[in-house]
Amino acid sequence: MTILANILVVFFISVGLLFIVVAALGLIRLPDLYTRAHAASKSSTLGVMCILLGVFFHFWLKEDHFNPSILLGVLFLFITGPVGAHIMTRSSYLAGVKAWPGTVRDDLKEEIETMKKEQGIK
Amino acid sequence: MKTNDVILQFTAKIVFFIIFFYAVHIFFAGHYTPGGGFVGGLVTSCAIVLLIIAFDLKKVQSILPINYIYLVATGLIVALGTATFSMIAGKPFFTHSFDYFNLPILGKTSLHTAALFDFGVYLVVVGVTMTIIQTIGEDE
């Protein structure tokens, strides 16, 4: 039982660590803001959630202490992480941050232009 | 520019309740674990600030029609009242008392008058933080 618990904890924490390292590599390697936000929001959310689950299983199975606020933290991160990335990328698009020059398609541009025309800006 | 904030507003509606109930948990857990009135008050005002960011200041004031300066005064009165209550009972100022009670649902719980003092601190912290943020944010 202890060995199984150890395997579970080590699995979750190392998977989370792997995803966080991948997120950091993506922040360095990717060319523009939108691809970086894609890397940072997805993989770091999943990584932190895996690490929290590992900590939760460690305290539950080995220290015999059920801590529901860690589960609440997992739920909170799962809700707010992607929404935060969405708000940041959207506001930087509206502020005029250009995408990587190799981008072939920009569906949001027409929407923003019709929205500006309706409200009479520029 | 007026934009469509559907995702932010819907998320703020759900996350507000998570943050608020976590603040209540921190407040009541303050006697035996880390937490207490100060942190609970700050987390509660964070939840209200999240609503202010997602919606309008006027709309939040119509949802929560609280005059936060009166909230500060109420908190100070509650804190001072628990401190002077022991003087009426003939003990020194700020003497707390506690006992164990058998509540119908919760079972055996220890109720302590320090929780009332902590509740006063909670109200003061929420009131002061929200007064600062509203007076900066109004900008008229």
Closest CA to B112 of B30, B23, B20, B24: B30
From the number of C-beta atoms within 10 Å of its C-beta (0-12, 13-18, 19+), residue B109 rates as exposed
Structure token digits, residue A14 = 């190392």
Considering only CB atoms, B8 lies closest to which of A83, A116, A119, namely A83
Cβ <8 Å between A75 and B3: no
Q: How far apart (Å, rounded) are the C-alpha atoms in residues B87 and B94?
A: 8
What ipTM was reported for this prediction?
0.81
Interface test with A, best of B3, B9, B17 (most A CBs within 10 A): B3
| Neighbouring C-beta atoms of residue B93, cutoff 10 Å | 9
Q: How far apart (Å, rounded) are the C-alpha atoms in residues A105 and B62?
A: 43
A120 Rama class: left (phi>0) / alpha (psi -120 to 50) / beta: left
Helix (H, G, I), strand (E, B) or coil at B110: strand
CB B13 within 8 A of CB B58: no
State whether residue B96 sits within 8 Å of chain A by CB. no
State whether residue B3 sits within 8 Å of chain A by CB. yes
Cβ <8 Å between A79 and B1: no
State whether residue B7 sits within 8 Å of chain A by CB. yes
Q: Which residue has the tokens 């759900």?
A: B14
Q: How far apart (Å, rounded) are the C-alpha atoms in residues A24 and A22?
A: 5
B109 phi/psi in degrees, rounded to 5: -130, 150
What is the extent of the structural domain holding A33? 2-119
| Chain B contact set for A75 (CB, 8 A) | 18
Cβ <8 Å between B11 and A115: no
Considering only CB atoms, B1 lies closest to which of A83, A87, A121, namely A121
pLDDT digits over A45-73, tens only?
999 999 999 999 999 998 889 999 999 99
CB B132 within 8 A of CB B37: no
Q: How far apart are the first and last CA of chain B?
A: 19
pTM: 0.85
Residues 51-80 of A with CB under 8 A from B: 69, 72, 75-76, 79-80
Cβ-Cβ contacts under 8 Å between A and B: the total is: 26
State whether residue B1 sits within 8 Å of chain A by CB. yes
> Among all residues of chain A, which has the CA nearest to that of B16?
A76
Residue B69: CB partners within 8 Å, gap ≥ 6?
Answer: B127, B131
pLDDT digits over B54-94, tens only?
988 888 889 989 999 999 999 999 999 988 888 888 888 88
Structure token digits, residue B110 = 């220890």
Strand B98-103 to B107-112 pairing: antiparallel
Domain count for chain A? 1
Within chain B, how many helices (H) and strands (E) appear?
5, 2
Tens digit of each residue's pLDDT, chain B (140 residues)? 677 789 999 999 999 999 999 999 999 988 888 988 999 999 999 999 999 999 888 888 899 899 999 999 999 999 999 888 888 888 888 888 887 877 777 778 778 888 889 999 999 999 999 999 999 987 76
